[in-house]
Amino acid sequence: MLGLYRRIITKPDDPLSVDSLPCIDPTIAAASAWAEGTTSRARREAKQRKSNLEAKQRKSNLVVSTESPLPAAPAPASLLPEVWLVVRLDAIIQFLWCFAVVFLEYAAPFGMLGLIGYIQSNTGGAVPPSAIVFGACVALGPLALNTCHGQANASGWRTGTKLRAYFTRAVCEKALRFDSAASSQSIGLMTNLLAVDTQNIVDFAGWAAWLWLEGMQLAMTLAALFYLLGYAAFGGLGVCLFAFPLNAVVMRQVKILQDRLMGEKDKRMALITEAIGAIRAIKLHAWEDEFERRIAKLRHDEVATLLAYQKLNAITSTMWLTTPTTAALASFLIKSRLIPPYRITAAEGFTALTLFQLLSVSLTFLPYMINSAIQANVGLRRISRFLALDDVEGRDHGLQLGIATGEVVVQEASFKWTSPPPEEKEQRMEKKDTSAKGRRRWGMKWGSSQRAQTEGTATSTTAPLLASATPPVPTTLPVSSMTGSSTDGIQPMSAATTPSVTLSNVSLAVRPGELAIICGPTGCGKSSLLAAMLGDMPRLGGLAAIRGKISYCPQRSWLANASLRENILFGSKFESSRYEAVLDACALRADIALLPNGDATEIGERGINLSGGQQQRVNLARACYADTDVVLLDDVLSAVDAHVGAHIFDQCILGFLTGRTRVLVTHSDDL
């Protein structure tokens, strides 16, 4: 499923921008655009020394390296330093407002203490200034308190919004960079990272400053109570000190259940995503009951953990709610029964009740903050582990190598999938058993020897793509600007061999504006070569670079749940003349005329069903409309009729795309 989120338009020379993330909602992208410079600068500082060293080692001309690329710098153990760079200003402002709130909390209680004391001792005459100050504290203290509280909440909301944009951008970037072929990470996990873990961090960000100030506020409240009640305040303090260890034990169990609950949510989301992606195969094989049983079992386990989690939360809340009341009762009993003069004045009583109410609110709010901090910590660790996954080291930066804009260079490079590529994993879920010769339900095994036996013979001096230790079976790869000297062939895969596709010692050079056509039978490695050019296939050695923006049209079409026009524009600015020219070049006008709302008709999973050829042409139109320097086309003519294919080749590939570097792979020899 990750293939659905692959990058369609990228600029390899620059860090990935928010505008290039198709899976981010436009509102989120707009909110997170401000973080572009900050996060890029933080990453550049970590990579500056390595870049300077590599720059000194290069000469002015292009240098071919046959060594494996240096491993990427390890990800930081914690995201906190980088997160702090993003939100430090708002976090400091929030802390200052919360600090003011802490002191304003005591304006009304001590104003009441002074005002009641003045009323009790008043014998007439002029009102002293101190009484006016006490009255102002009682009247205006809550107003100032609510004003500062509102500003603190606003600062917390801004902090949370920035964190949501930052983590959404970081997770989506990583989803486009990490080695998905060798990783077990699923769409369900990434969905939870964005929907659950990020939300937990955002929720905590609004109250983060209070977590540090609550201790000070509790200490000040207890000091005020000691000032009023004397040693009787220690009775309430003793009750609080007895309750804290009990809550610590319960909160430790809450953290354990929180980790377990998130893991069970990941499993359930992964299975649901798998079922939705393979719904056709499930319906054809009548596996609905089996998948329903599996999902229900995971949901039952999740609900059981959630029930235990909520029970512990209820116990924690009950303890925190009853602790202030019990503390007040203990203090009043000690004051009235054990400490002379064995009474409590009206001023002391009303003020103490107000302070105990403040203590009650603080202690009631504290467990929620602690619980939110635990959830945010769990979410931050999960996101950190995901961002620490290895990236695909598949492509060098063309700008650093000094090649021209639009140039494609692959020199003596070797690539290898460590496991079946993402597209192959998706196709396995959609295939069904159509053979009576004992083949598996998912069809012919990826990389099997049967596929190797279908390869053709070479008609040029170009190098074959797939490596082998056995006598080679050469393939046809006519390319306008390709050189190579490898004599390796195709590695037949036995049933016991781990699936592995290898491109060995490949050399390819396409100058700006040229058209390169790579021709070969199915399974010879054409799509893997394009993946290697994009940097999605792990590189073992050699050099591979593209300079400029890239449009990629995959063999397997992908459509967003949007109108046909929006699928073509894909976030680019609408230009009428360019849009009309793309429709003509891709032969889409006749198809648009048949749609009920023209190019405003919604297509995709929730819209009008298009044929395979129509979907392929919409994808081609998207790649053509984008303002890019290099266009990679993966067998875009295979799903269209012969006359439509001829039109696209003449009017689009040789016409509209003239001036751009084009790499077309196909299994047809007619071109």
Output the 3-class SS for 167-223. Answer: HHHHHHHHHHHECCCCCCCCHHHHHHHHHHHHHHHHHHHCCHHHHHHHHHHHHHHHH
pLDDT in the model for residue 125? 73
Are the beta carbons of 468 and 488 closer than 8 angstroms? Answer: yes
Indicate the SS3 state at residue 250. helix
Dist. CA 452–CA 39, nearest whole Å: 46
DSSP string, 425-467: HHHHHH-----SSS--TT-SPTT-HHHHTT-----SSPPPSB-
381 burial (CB, 10 Å; 0-12 / 13-18 / 19+) is: middle
- What are the mean pLDDT values of the chain's consecutive 10-residue runs (671 residues total)? 33 37 38 41 43 38 30 52 88 92 89 85 79 88 91 91 91 79 66 88 86 81 85 82 77 87 91 91 93 94 94 84 78 85 79 79 74 88 86 63 86 80 56 41 35 34 36 33 33 41 85 92 87 84 88 90 93 94 95 92 80 92 95 91 92 94 87 65
Quick one: CA torsion of 452, 455, 461, 465, rounded to 10 degrees?
-40
* Sole residue written with tokens 């070479």: 458
State which CATH number among 3.20.20.70, 1.20.1560.10, 3.40.640.10, 1.10.3720.10 fits the domain covering 80-387.
1.20.1560.10
| Residue extents of the structural domains in the chain | 80-387, 394-433+440-547, 562-666
Dist. CA 651–CA 647, nearest whole Å: 6
Dist. CA 631–CA 176, nearest whole Å: 19
Indicate the SS3 state at residue 70. coil
pLDDT in the model for residue 164? 92
DSSP string, 313-369: HHHHHHHHHHHHHHHHHHHHHHHHHTSTT----HHHHHHHHHHHHHHHHHHHHHHHH
Which homologous superfamily is 562-666 in? P-loop containing nucleotide triphosphate hydrolases (3.40.50.300)
- The beta-strand segments (E) located in 511-605 are 515-519, 539-546, 550-553, 562-563, 602-603
pLDDT in the model for residue 285? 93
Dist. CA 208–CA 199, nearest whole Å: 14
Indicate the SS3 state at residue 37. helix
Give the phi and the psi of residue 634 in degrees, each rounded to 5. Answer: -100, 95
Give the phi and the psi of residue 647 in degrees, each rounded to 5. Answer: -65, -45
Dist. CA 503–CA 464, nearest whole Å: 8
Whole-model pTM: value is 0.57
Indicate the SS3 state at residue 544. strand
Dist. CA 457–CA 442, nearest whole Å: 28
